[in-house]
Structure 1
Amino acid sequence: MLLSLIFTMPNAYSGEHLDSIPEEYQFPKYNNIAHPPINVEYKGHKGTALFLSNTFEDGKRNLEVYFLTNNNKELNKAYELYTYQYGNQELVSAFEYADKKTGDKYIYMLFKSTITPNKLYSYNFTELSLFIEEDGILRVLFFLGDNEFLSKTTCIDDFETDRRCEFSTKEGLIKYLNKEKSR
Protein backbone atom coordinates (compact mmCIF):
# COMPACT_ATOMS: atom_id res chain seq x y z
CA MET A 1 0.00 0.00 0.00
CA LEU A 2 2.83 2.39 0.85
CA LEU A 3 4.49 1.77 -2.52
CA SER A 4 1.22 2.45 -4.33
CA LEU A 5 1.06 5.87 -2.60
CA ILE A 6 4.61 6.64 -3.68
CA PHE A 7 3.89 5.61 -7.26
CA THR A 8 0.66 7.59 -7.62
CA MET A 9 1.76 10.85 -5.96
CA PRO A 10 2.89 13.70 -8.24
CA ASN A 11 6.61 13.46 -8.86
CA ALA A 12 9.35 16.06 -8.74
CA TYR A 13 11.60 14.61 -11.44
CA SER A 14 13.06 16.69 -14.14
CA GLY A 15 15.55 15.91 -16.84
CA GLU A 16 16.00 14.08 -20.10
CA HIS A 17 15.93 10.56 -18.58
CA LEU A 18 12.40 10.86 -17.19
CA ASP A 19 10.91 8.97 -20.15
CA SER A 20 13.05 5.91 -19.42
CA ILE A 21 11.33 5.28 -16.06
CA PRO A 22 7.67 4.18 -16.23
CA GLU A 23 5.45 6.86 -14.70
CA GLU A 24 4.09 4.54 -12.01
CA TYR A 25 7.65 4.00 -10.70
CA GLN A 26 8.75 7.62 -10.45
CA PHE A 27 9.50 8.73 -6.91
CA PRO A 28 8.24 12.09 -5.66
CA LYS A 29 10.97 12.68 -3.08
CA TYR A 30 13.98 12.65 -5.44
CA ASN A 31 14.97 15.70 -7.43
CA ASN A 32 17.67 14.13 -9.60
CA ILE A 33 18.29 11.05 -11.65
CA ALA A 34 21.94 10.35 -10.87
CA HIS A 35 22.40 8.01 -13.84
CA PRO A 36 20.10 6.59 -16.53
CA PRO A 37 18.45 3.29 -15.52
CA ILE A 38 20.26 0.06 -16.44
CA ASN A 39 18.35 -2.96 -17.68
CA VAL A 40 20.03 -6.25 -16.75
CA GLU A 41 19.42 -9.90 -17.51
CA TYR A 42 20.88 -12.76 -15.51
CA LYS A 43 20.10 -16.45 -15.95
CA GLY A 44 16.87 -15.68 -17.79
CA HIS A 45 15.62 -13.12 -15.25
CA LYS A 46 15.35 -9.39 -15.95
CA GLY A 47 15.54 -6.30 -13.78
CA THR A 48 16.22 -2.58 -13.87
CA ALA A 49 18.58 -0.62 -11.63
CA LEU A 50 17.42 2.95 -10.87
CA PHE A 51 19.95 5.55 -9.66
CA LEU A 52 18.21 8.36 -7.78
CA SER A 53 19.46 11.24 -5.66
CA ASN A 54 18.49 14.38 -3.82
CA THR A 55 20.43 17.61 -3.65
CA PHE A 56 19.91 19.21 -0.26
CA GLU A 57 20.06 22.88 0.75
CA ASP A 58 23.71 22.56 1.79
CA GLY A 59 24.59 21.24 -1.70
CA LYS A 60 25.32 17.69 -0.53
CA ARG A 61 23.64 14.78 -2.24
CA ASN A 62 22.61 11.26 -1.44
CA LEU A 63 22.52 8.33 -3.85
CA GLU A 64 20.01 5.52 -3.65
CA VAL A 65 20.00 2.55 -5.99
CA TYR A 66 16.72 0.70 -6.37
CA PHE A 67 16.19 -2.54 -8.24
CA LEU A 68 12.92 -3.20 -10.06
CA THR A 69 12.28 -6.87 -10.81
CA ASN A 70 9.67 -9.66 -10.92
CA ASN A 71 8.03 -8.31 -14.09
CA ASN A 72 8.11 -4.75 -12.73
CA LYS A 73 6.18 -5.77 -9.60
CA GLU A 74 8.87 -5.70 -6.92
CA LEU A 75 11.08 -2.77 -5.94
CA ASN A 76 13.99 -3.12 -3.50
CA LYS A 77 16.56 -0.65 -2.26
CA ALA A 78 19.92 -2.19 -3.18
CA TYR A 79 22.32 0.50 -2.00
CA GLU A 80 22.41 3.89 -0.31
CA LEU A 81 25.24 6.38 -0.09
CA TYR A 82 24.38 8.99 2.50
CA THR A 83 24.87 12.72 2.06
CA TYR A 84 27.97 12.92 4.21
CA GLN A 85 29.59 10.37 1.90
CA TYR A 86 28.28 11.53 -1.47
CA GLY A 87 28.65 15.27 -0.86
CA ASN A 88 31.85 15.73 -2.87
CA GLN A 89 31.57 12.73 -5.18
CA GLU A 90 30.25 12.41 -8.70
CA LEU A 91 28.75 9.24 -10.12
CA VAL A 92 30.80 8.97 -13.32
CA SER A 93 29.32 5.75 -14.66
CA ALA A 94 27.21 2.73 -13.79
CA PHE A 95 27.11 -0.40 -15.91
CA GLU A 96 26.47 -4.14 -15.99
CA TYR A 97 29.55 -6.36 -15.96
CA ALA A 98 29.84 -10.13 -16.53
CA ASP A 99 32.78 -12.01 -15.00
CA LYS A 100 34.09 -14.13 -17.89
CA LYS A 101 35.66 -16.66 -15.53
CA THR A 102 32.62 -17.39 -13.31
CA GLY A 103 29.69 -16.15 -15.41
CA ASP A 104 28.50 -14.04 -12.47
CA LYS A 105 27.06 -10.59 -13.20
CA TYR A 106 27.39 -7.33 -11.35
CA ILE A 107 26.45 -3.70 -11.54
CA TYR A 108 29.46 -1.43 -11.05
CA MET A 109 29.30 2.22 -10.06
CA LEU A 110 32.36 4.40 -10.72
CA PHE A 111 32.79 7.49 -8.51
CA LYS A 112 35.05 10.52 -8.86
CA SER A 113 36.02 12.78 -5.96
CA THR A 114 37.59 16.19 -6.43
CA ILE A 115 40.50 16.67 -4.06
CA THR A 116 41.92 19.80 -5.74
CA PRO A 117 40.03 21.11 -8.80
CA ASN A 118 41.97 20.63 -12.06
CA LYS A 119 44.90 19.09 -10.15
CA LEU A 120 43.95 16.02 -8.10
CA TYR A 121 41.03 13.56 -8.39
CA SER A 122 40.43 10.20 -6.79
CA TYR A 123 38.30 7.37 -8.17
CA ASN A 124 36.69 4.39 -6.53
CA PHE A 125 34.03 1.89 -7.46
CA THR A 126 31.29 -0.11 -5.82
CA GLU A 127 30.14 -3.58 -6.84
CA LEU A 128 26.53 -4.75 -6.61
CA SER A 129 26.14 -8.50 -7.18
CA LEU A 130 23.22 -9.93 -9.14
CA PHE A 131 21.80 -13.18 -7.76
CA ILE A 132 18.68 -15.32 -7.91
CA GLU A 133 16.96 -15.66 -4.52
CA GLU A 134 15.48 -19.00 -3.39
CA ASP A 135 12.05 -17.66 -4.43
CA GLY A 136 13.33 -17.39 -8.03
CA ILE A 137 13.45 -13.57 -8.02
CA LEU A 138 16.45 -11.66 -9.39
CA ARG A 139 17.94 -9.39 -6.75
CA VAL A 140 20.92 -7.03 -6.36
CA LEU A 141 23.10 -7.18 -3.27
CA PHE A 142 25.80 -4.89 -1.92
CA PHE A 143 28.33 -6.88 0.11
CA LEU A 144 31.90 -5.79 0.74
CA GLY A 145 32.82 -8.82 2.83
CA ASP A 146 36.41 -10.04 2.82
CA ASN A 147 37.04 -9.49 -0.87
CA GLU A 148 40.64 -8.26 -1.08
CA PHE A 149 40.02 -7.09 -4.66
CA LEU A 150 37.29 -4.67 -3.60
CA SER A 151 39.37 -3.24 -0.77
CA LYS A 152 41.78 -1.82 -3.41
CA THR A 153 39.25 0.53 -4.91
CA THR A 154 40.90 3.93 -4.96
CA CYS A 155 43.29 5.43 -7.47
CA ILE A 156 44.42 8.98 -8.19
CA ASP A 157 44.71 11.32 -11.17
CA ASP A 158 47.45 13.81 -10.32
CA PHE A 159 47.87 16.35 -13.12
CA GLU A 160 50.95 17.90 -11.51
CA THR A 161 52.92 14.62 -11.61
CA ASP A 162 51.22 13.00 -14.65
CA ARG A 163 50.16 10.06 -12.44
CA ARG A 164 46.90 8.73 -13.90
CA CYS A 165 44.22 6.44 -12.54
CA GLU A 166 43.85 3.29 -14.60
CA PHE A 167 40.08 3.19 -14.07
CA SER A 168 38.93 6.81 -14.34
CA THR A 169 36.46 5.94 -17.12
CA LYS A 170 33.94 3.17 -17.70
CA GLU A 171 36.19 1.65 -20.37
CA GLY A 172 39.21 1.86 -18.07
CA LEU A 173 37.29 0.19 -15.23
CA ILE A 174 36.13 -2.64 -17.52
CA LYS A 175 39.74 -3.21 -18.61
CA TYR A 176 40.87 -3.12 -14.96
CA LEU A 177 38.12 -5.58 -13.91
CA ASN A 178 38.97 -7.98 -16.76
CA LYS A 179 42.62 -7.95 -15.72
CA GLU A 180 41.99 -8.32 -11.97
CA LYS A 181 39.29 -10.98 -12.25
CA SER A 182 41.35 -13.12 -14.64
CA ARG A 183 44.02 -13.66 -11.96
Structure 2
Amino acid sequence: MPRFVMTAGEVADLLGALDAPRVDVCVGGGWAVDALLEEQTREHSDLDLWLPAAHLEWLFRALAARGIDRVFPWPGDRPWNFVLHDGARTRIDLHLYERLPDGRLHYGSVLDGETFPASALEGRGVIAGRPVRCEAAEWAVRWHTGYPPRAADRHDVPLLCHKFNLELPEAFA
Protein backbone atom coordinates (compact mmCIF):
# COMPACT_ATOMS: atom_id res chain seq x y z
CA MET A 1 0.00 0.00 0.00
CA PRO A 2 1.40 3.45 -0.87
CA ARG A 3 2.27 5.86 1.94
CA PHE A 4 -0.08 8.81 1.92
CA VAL A 5 1.10 12.13 3.31
CA MET A 6 -0.83 15.36 2.79
CA THR A 7 0.71 18.78 3.32
CA ALA A 8 -1.02 21.81 4.80
CA GLY A 9 -0.75 23.57 1.44
CA GLU A 10 -2.46 20.68 -0.35
CA VAL A 11 -5.24 20.63 2.23
CA ALA A 12 -5.79 24.41 1.99
CA ASP A 13 -5.84 24.18 -1.82
CA LEU A 14 -8.34 21.32 -1.73
CA LEU A 15 -10.61 23.16 0.69
CA GLY A 16 -10.44 26.20 -1.58
CA ALA A 17 -11.60 24.07 -4.51
CA LEU A 18 -14.68 23.12 -2.49
CA ASP A 19 -15.68 26.77 -1.98
CA ALA A 20 -16.85 27.26 -5.57
CA PRO A 21 -19.55 24.55 -5.56
CA ARG A 22 -20.47 25.68 -2.04
CA VAL A 23 -19.89 22.32 -0.41
CA ASP A 24 -20.38 22.83 3.32
CA VAL A 25 -17.43 20.91 4.73
CA CYS A 26 -16.00 20.90 8.21
CA VAL A 27 -12.45 19.68 8.83
CA GLY A 28 -12.19 16.79 11.28
CA GLY A 29 -9.61 14.46 12.77
CA GLY A 30 -5.94 15.33 12.90
CA TRP A 31 -6.22 18.26 10.53
CA ALA A 32 -8.93 19.75 12.77
CA VAL A 33 -6.47 19.53 15.65
CA ASP A 34 -3.78 21.30 13.65
CA ALA A 35 -6.31 23.87 12.39
CA LEU A 36 -7.29 24.66 15.98
CA LEU A 37 -3.60 24.89 16.93
CA GLU A 38 -3.05 27.05 13.80
CA GLU A 39 0.01 25.07 12.75
CA GLN A 40 0.82 21.67 11.33
CA THR A 41 2.24 19.64 14.22
CA ARG A 42 2.58 16.20 12.58
CA GLU A 43 2.18 14.32 9.30
CA HIS A 44 -1.33 13.40 8.18
CA SER A 45 -2.19 10.52 5.86
CA ASP A 46 -5.68 11.78 5.09
CA LEU A 47 -8.11 14.65 5.45
CA ASP A 48 -11.23 13.96 7.49
CA LEU A 49 -14.24 15.97 6.33
CA TRP A 50 -17.67 16.28 7.90
CA LEU A 51 -20.34 16.93 5.29
CA PRO A 52 -24.13 17.13 5.17
CA ALA A 53 -25.26 13.98 3.33
CA ALA A 54 -27.32 16.18 1.00
CA HIS A 55 -24.07 17.78 -0.30
CA LEU A 56 -22.46 14.49 -1.32
CA GLU A 57 -23.18 14.88 -5.05
CA TRP A 58 -21.60 18.36 -5.12
CA LEU A 59 -18.57 17.06 -3.26
CA PHE A 60 -18.20 14.15 -5.69
CA ARG A 61 -18.34 16.52 -8.65
CA ALA A 62 -15.79 18.93 -7.15
CA LEU A 63 -13.39 16.16 -6.17
CA ALA A 64 -13.74 14.27 -9.46
CA ALA A 65 -12.68 17.45 -11.27
CA ARG A 66 -9.43 17.17 -9.26
CA GLY A 67 -8.98 13.45 -9.97
CA ILE A 68 -10.16 12.33 -6.54
CA ASP A 69 -12.71 9.84 -7.72
CA ARG A 70 -11.90 6.42 -6.30
CA VAL A 71 -13.35 4.74 -3.24
CA PHE A 72 -10.58 3.39 -1.00
CA PRO A 73 -12.11 0.33 0.73
CA TRP A 74 -11.30 0.23 4.43
CA PRO A 75 -12.46 -2.16 7.15
CA GLY A 76 -15.55 -0.75 8.80
CA ASP A 77 -16.61 1.49 5.91
CA ARG A 78 -20.27 2.44 5.99
CA PRO A 79 -22.50 4.52 3.70
CA TRP A 80 -21.96 7.48 6.08
CA ASN A 81 -18.19 7.03 6.45
CA PHE A 82 -15.82 6.02 3.66
CA VAL A 83 -12.59 7.13 1.98
CA LEU A 84 -12.05 8.68 -1.46
CA HIS A 85 -8.63 8.99 -3.06
CA ASP A 86 -6.83 9.98 -6.24
CA GLY A 87 -4.66 6.86 -6.58
CA ALA A 88 -1.57 8.81 -5.56
CA ARG A 89 -1.32 10.82 -2.33
CA THR A 90 -4.66 12.44 -1.58
CA ARG A 91 -7.04 10.58 0.72
CA ILE A 92 -10.29 12.03 2.07
CA ASP A 93 -12.17 10.31 4.89
CA LEU A 94 -15.81 11.41 4.60
CA HIS A 95 -18.17 11.62 7.57
CA LEU A 96 -21.73 12.27 6.37
CA TYR A 97 -24.38 13.61 8.72
CA GLU A 98 -27.97 14.84 8.59
CA ARG A 99 -29.46 17.79 10.43
CA LEU A 100 -32.42 16.85 12.61
CA PRO A 101 -35.50 19.08 12.93
CA ASP A 102 -34.27 20.28 16.36
CA GLY A 103 -30.93 21.42 14.87
CA ARG A 104 -28.80 18.58 16.24
CA LEU A 105 -26.72 16.49 13.84
CA HIS A 106 -27.13 12.74 13.29
CA TYR A 107 -24.17 10.59 12.17
CA GLY A 108 -24.48 6.90 11.43
CA SER A 109 -27.26 4.43 10.97
CA VAL A 110 -30.82 5.05 12.04
CA LEU A 111 -30.57 2.21 14.57
CA ASP A 112 -27.09 2.77 15.94
CA GLY A 113 -26.08 6.33 15.10
CA GLU A 114 -24.84 9.22 17.18
CA THR A 115 -26.55 12.55 17.70
CA PHE A 116 -24.61 15.62 18.77
CA PRO A 117 -25.06 19.40 18.81
CA ALA A 118 -24.31 21.36 15.65
CA SER A 119 -21.86 23.41 17.74
CA ALA A 120 -19.53 20.36 17.70
CA LEU A 121 -18.71 21.30 14.09
CA GLU A 122 -18.48 25.05 14.61
CA GLY A 123 -14.82 25.35 15.58
CA ARG A 124 -12.61 27.83 13.76
CA GLY A 125 -9.01 27.28 12.80
CA VAL A 126 -6.33 27.93 10.21
CA ILE A 127 -4.55 25.62 7.78
CA ALA A 128 -1.65 27.10 5.79
CA GLY A 129 -3.01 30.60 6.38
CA ARG A 130 -6.53 29.65 5.26
CA PRO A 131 -9.35 30.08 7.81
CA VAL A 132 -11.38 26.87 8.06
CA ARG A 133 -14.39 25.54 9.89
CA CYS A 134 -13.41 22.53 11.97
CA GLU A 135 -14.47 20.45 14.93
CA ALA A 136 -14.75 22.43 18.15
CA ALA A 137 -11.81 21.73 20.48
CA GLU A 138 -13.81 19.94 23.18
CA TRP A 139 -15.41 17.68 20.57
CA ALA A 140 -12.09 17.00 18.85
CA VAL A 141 -10.82 15.76 22.22
CA ARG A 142 -13.98 13.72 22.83
CA TRP A 143 -13.74 12.04 19.41
CA HIS A 144 -10.12 11.07 20.10
CA THR A 145 -11.25 9.01 23.10
CA GLY A 146 -13.41 5.92 23.61
CA TYR A 147 -10.83 3.57 22.10
CA PRO A 148 -7.23 2.72 22.97
CA PRO A 149 -5.17 5.83 22.12
CA ARG A 150 -2.92 5.62 19.07
CA ALA A 151 0.37 7.51 18.77
CA ALA A 152 -1.40 10.31 16.84
CA ASP A 153 -4.03 10.60 19.60
CA ARG A 154 -1.30 10.76 22.27
CA HIS A 155 0.20 13.63 20.28
CA ASP A 156 -3.01 15.52 19.47
CA VAL A 157 -5.09 15.38 22.65
CA PRO A 158 -2.55 16.87 25.11
CA LEU A 159 -1.85 19.75 22.69
CA LEU A 160 -5.56 20.58 22.43
CA CYS A 161 -6.13 20.25 26.16
CA HIS A 162 -3.20 22.56 26.89
CA LYS A 163 -4.16 25.24 24.37
CA PHE A 164 -7.88 25.27 25.21
CA ASN A 165 -7.56 24.62 28.95
CA LEU A 166 -9.48 21.35 28.72
CA GLU A 167 -9.16 18.49 31.17
CA LEU A 168 -6.84 15.77 29.90
CA PRO A 169 -8.85 12.54 29.56
CA GLU A 170 -7.84 9.71 31.89
CA ALA A 171 -6.46 7.53 29.10
CA PHE A 172 -3.89 10.26 28.33
CA ALA A 173 -2.71 10.98 31.90
Tell whether the structures are fold-level matches, with TM greater than 0.5.
Answer: no
- TM-score normalised by length of structure 2: 0.30
- TM-score normalised by length of structure 1: 0.29
- Identify the structure with the greater helix proportion: 2
- Identify the structure with the greater strand proportion: 1
